[in-house]
Amino acid sequence: MCGIVGILGTKPVANDLVDALRRLEYRGYDSAGVATLEHGHLERRRAQGKLRNLEQRLAKEPLQGHTGIGHTRWATHGRPTENNAHPHMSKGVSIVHNGIIENFAELRRTLSAKGHRFETDTDSEVIAHLIADAMHDGHDPVEATKMALGQLKGAFALAILFAGHDDLMIAARQGSPLAIGYGTGEMYLGSDAIALAPFTSDITYLEEGDWAVLTRAGATIYDAAGKKVKRARVRSSAGSMLIDKGNHKHYMAKEIFEQPEVISRTLANYIDFVESRVVLPDLGINPAHISQISISACGTAYYAGLVGRYWIERYARIPVEIDIASEFRYREPPLQKGGLSLFISQSGETADTLATLRYCKSQGQRIASIVNVKTSTIARESDVVLPTLAGPEIGVASTKAFTCQLSVMACLAIGLARARGAISPAEEQELVQALAEIPRHISHLLTNEAQYEALAHDLSKAKDVLYLGRGVSYPLALEGALKLKEISYIHAEGYAAGELKHGPIALIDENVPVIVVAPNDHLFEKTVSNMQEVAARGGKIILVSDTAADAAGCELMAHIAMPKGHAFTNPLTYAVPVQLLAYHTATFMGTDVDQPRNLAKSVTVE
Ligand code: G6P
C-alpha cells in the first residue's frame, strides 16, 4: 500500500507533490512526507497523520526544490510516527517506497556490520542504504540502483533521488503499480494515473520488474534483465479522474447515492435492453465446456463473489469454487482442466488477488476479472476483463463498486446460463427485466434516510451487532457487518441464519441488536424461526424485508420496508440498507467515515 509520487519540474514542486498525494490518500494516511533537491541538496519534510499535517509543516518550513518525491504511508513495518515516515535518506540518497521488502532484516544486518546507522523501524530504509553503499563503492546512481534492486526480495514501487543530480529520478516496479507521466519539459511519477491527473494524461505504466531512469527530457525504461524496453504511452481518460464530494458530506455518501446511475451504466454495458438479452464479451472459452469456475477476491469484492456463486450455480448450473484470495493462494487447490478463474477487485491491484490470478494462470485456467480500474494490473493480466463502470471510488468502505460487481455477476450468470441452455429465452427476459428495475428501486430506497438516522442512535450504543441472512442474503449479512465495523468501529458479525444456534445465539441479550436481512423468498419462513429464537432471548431485531412487519411473528425494534423485487435481484437492493445503516451510525458517532483508522482503500501488500 502507500502512495508514491515524483516530479522533475520547472518550478518549486512541493505543493504539486502534496496535491498528487491527496489523490493517493486512499492508499494510506498514517503519515506523509516529501523530499526535494535544491541546488543539489536533499531536503525533506515529514509529518505523522493525515496529509494536512504535512501541509501545515510545509507552510511553516517551505521547500523550494524543482525536483521532488512524496509519500503517503500505510504502516506495515514500524509505527506510524514521523520518524518512520518516508522519504528515507542515506548519504545523499532519498527514497519513497510502496510495498514490503521481505529480506530487509538480513540486508540491514549486513549493512549495519559495514557501519550503516539506521534511523527508523521500517523495512524501506534499507533501500536507501543499499544504494548509498554501492555509490560509496564508486558506482554511479544508475549502476548503484541496479545493483540494489537485484538484492531486494518482496514487493516495491520506488522513486529515488540523488544529491547532486537535480535532473535525475529513478523509478522501479516489482509487485506494486507505478505510472510515468510525460509533461512539457517536466516528468512525473505516481502510484496511479489519478495522482498525476492535474499535470498530465500522457502515461506509461511500468510492467512487472521494470525500472526507469527519468530526466526532464524523458524516460529510459529497462526490464528486469536490464534490457532497454519500449512501453506504450497511453492517454488516461480525464473523465475517470474527476473526483469531488458534490453536495455530500462524505465520499461514501456520494458513492451510495451514485448507485442508481452507475448500476444503470454497468448493466447497459452487458445488456441489450431492446432484446432483453445479456451480451457478454467473448470469454475465449465455450460456456458449454466450462467444467468449473473458481472465484477469488478480498473484502467486499469477496462478498460480491459469494453472491455470484449462488447465482452461477443456481442459474448456469456450473460448480463454483470460491475462497478469500489470501487463503486461495496458499491452499493451491487443484483446478480442473477447462476451468474459468474469476477475480473480483475494485482497484485491480490487491496483492493477494493478483497472486491468486497468477497461480490460476500457471494452472492453465482461463482468466477473467471483474475490475473497476481498467488500467490496473489485474485487468492487464487477465484474458478477459468484465469492467464495472462505477467510476472512481474514494471512500475506503466500498459501496458502489460492490453493487456494480453484483450487476456484472448477475449478467455473467444469465449469459452463461443461456449459453449452456440452462435457462430459456423467456427466463432470460424475466431476469433481465428484473435487473432493469434495480436503479429505480435503489433510487426509491435512497429517499428514506430519516429512518436510518433514527436507527443510528440506537446502533451507536451497541457494543456488538449481529447480522443474519440465509441463502443469497448470507453474503449481505457478512457485508453489512463488515461495513459497520469498518467505519463505526462497533464489533459486528455476519452469520448464516442457520448457524445461529451453533454459537452466536450465546451472545444474544437485550443489548445486542440483530439485523436480519430476509427478503420474502423461498427461505423466508426458515429465517422467521431464527428471529423467534432471537426474540425469545430478548434480542432486538431490525428486519430488512419486503414482507409486512408482522410476518416476523415477533416484536421488532424496527422494520426497514423494502420494495417488492424479483428474488434474483434482491442482493442488489438489499445492499443499500446495510450501507446506509453503517454510514449513518458512523456519521452519528463522528468517526472518519471516508478514511477509517488503520484501513486503506487499496491493499497492495500481503
Ligand atoms: C480493502 C478495502 C475494501 C475492499 C478490499 C478489496 O480492504 O478497504 O473496501 O473491498 O480492499 O479491494 P479490491 O480493490 O480488490 O476490491
pLDDT digits (tens, 9 = 90+) for 145-198: 999 999 998 889 999 999 999 999 999 998 778 999 999 999 999 998 888 988
Tell which residue, 594, 187, 68, has the closest CA to residue 58: 68
Q: Return the best residue to mutate from 296, 346, 394 for the ligand 1 pocket (most ligand atoms within 8 A of CB).
A: 346
Compare 226 and 533 and report the one with higher pLDDT: 226
Distance between Cα 396 and ligand 1 center (Å): 8
**Which pLDDT score is estimated for 599?**
80
Atom of ligand 1 nearest to the CA of 405: 16
- Listed in order, the ranges of the chain carrying CATH 3.60.20.10 are 3-247
pLDDT value of position 240: 45
CATH topology of domain 3-247: Glutamine Phosphoribosylpyrophosphate, subunit 1, domain 1 (3.60.20)
DSSP designation for 500: G
How far is the centre of ligand 1, averaged over its atoms, from the C-alpha of 168 (Å)? 35
Cα–Cα distance between 177 and 510 in angstroms, integer?
A: 49
| Mean pLDDT value across residues 285-290 | 93
* Residue 601 annotated as catalytic: yes
How far is C-alpha 297 from the chain's CA centre? 10
Question: Which of 398, 399, 595 to probe ligand 1 with, by most ligand atoms within 8 A of CB?
Answer: 398
Mean pLDDT of 517-533: 88
Which percentage of the chain shows pLDDT scores above 90?
74
160 CA to middle of ligand 1, Å? 28
Peptide bond into 87 cis (omega under 30): yes
In this structure, which residue's CA is closest to atom 1 in ligand 1? 601
Closest-lying ligand 1 atom to the alpha carbon of residue 298: 6
CATH classification number, 443-589, choose in 3.30.750.80, 3.40.50.10490, 3.30.70.20, 1.10.3720.10: 3.40.50.10490
Spacing, Cα 187 to ligand 1 middle (Å): 30
In this structure, which residue's CA is closest to atom 15 in ligand 1?
Answer: 345
Q: What is the largest CA-CA distance in the chain?
A: 81
- Residue 237 pLDDT: 64
**pLDDT confidence of residue 443:** 83
CA of 347 to the centre of ligand 1 (A): 7
Amino acid identity of residue 111, one-letter, is L
Residue 309 pLDDT more than 50?
A: yes
Tell me which residue has its CA closest to atom 7 in ligand 1. Answer: 299
Closest-CA residue to 350 (of 375, 331, 326, 366): 326
Helix (H, G, I), strand (E, B) or coil at 94: strand
Do the Cβ atoms of 160 and 146 come closer than 8 Å? no
Q: pLDDT, tens digit, for every residue of 548-597?
A: 888 877 888 899 999 998 999 999 999 999 999 999 999 999 999 998 88
Residue 141 pLDDT greater than 60, yes or no: yes
Q: Provide the pLDDT for residue 548.
A: 84
What Å distances lie between residue 449 and 101, 257, 373, 454, CA to CA? 46, 11, 30, 9
Q: What is the chain's mean pLDDT, rounded?
A: 92
How far apart, in whole angstroms, are the C-alpha atoms of residue 516 and residue 531?
8
Pocket of ligand 1 (CB under 6 A): 298-301, 345-347, 350, 353, 396-398, 599, 601-603
Return the best residue to mutate from 296, 350, 354, 486 for the ligand 1 pocket (most ligand atoms within 8 A of CB): 350
User: What pLDDT digit, counting tens, does each position of 387-408 carry?
Assistant: 999 988 989 899 999 999 999 9
Question: Which position has the grid cell 494490473?
Answer: 377
In this prediction, residue 508 carries a pLDDT of 87
Mean pLDDT, range 338-346, rounded to an integer: 95
HSE, side-chain direction, 13 A CA sphere, residue 280? 25
User: Where in the sequence of the chain do the CATH 3.40.50.10490 domains occur?
Assistant: 254-436, 443-589
Which among 251, 351, 337, 259 is positioned nearest to 297, based on CA atoms?
351
Answer whether residue 241 shows pLDDT above 60.
Answer: no
Between the alpha carbon of residue 178 and those of residues 12, 140, 226, 409, 444, the distances in Å are 23, 24, 18, 29, 41
Q: Could you confirm whether 360 is annotated as catalytic?
A: no
Q: What span, in angstroms and rounded, lies between the C-alpha atoms of 544 and 242?
A: 35
Among candidates 251, 159, 191, 172, which has minimal Cα distance to 1? 191
Cα distance between residue 536 and residue 505, in whole Å:
11
Catalytic hit among 254, 483, 540, 601:
601
Residue 509 burial (CB count, 10 A):
11
CATH hierarchy code of domain 254-436: 3.40.50.10490
**Can you tell me the distance from the alpha carbon of 348 to that of 604, in angstroms, rounded to the nearest whole number?**
10
| pLDDT for position 36 | 98
| Residue 246 confidence (pLDDT) above 70 | no
What are the cell numbers at 89?
Answer: 535518506
Q: Report phi then psi at 255, rounded to 5.
A: -70, -35
> What b-and-e string marks burial along 239-252, b requiring 16 or more CB atoms within 10 Å of the CB?
ebbebeeeeeebbb
Name the residue at shortest CA distance from atom 5 of ligand 1.
299
Per residue, the 3-state secondary structure of 96-147, as one string, reads EEEEEECCHHHHHHHHHHCCCCCCCCCCCHHHHHHHHHHHHCCCCHHHHHHH
Name the residue of 27, 601, 605, 606 whose CB sits within 8 Å of the most ligand 1 atoms, as the mutation to test its pocket: 601
Name every residue whose Cβ is closer than 8 Å to that of residue 234 and which is 6 or more positions away in sequence: 203, 204, 205, 375
| 484 CA distance to ligand 1 middle (Å) | 15
pLDDT for the residue 330: 87
430 pLDDT above the threshold of 70: yes
| Residue 138 clears pLDDT 90, i.e. is over it | yes
Span 46-65, mean pLDDT?
96
Nearest residue to 541 (alpha-carbon basis) of 504, 509, 573: 509
Which ligand 1 atom sits closest to the C-alpha of 397? Answer: 9
Cα separations (Å) of 566 from 430, 435, 525, 572? 9, 9, 17, 11
Å from CA of 395 to ligand 1 middle: 11
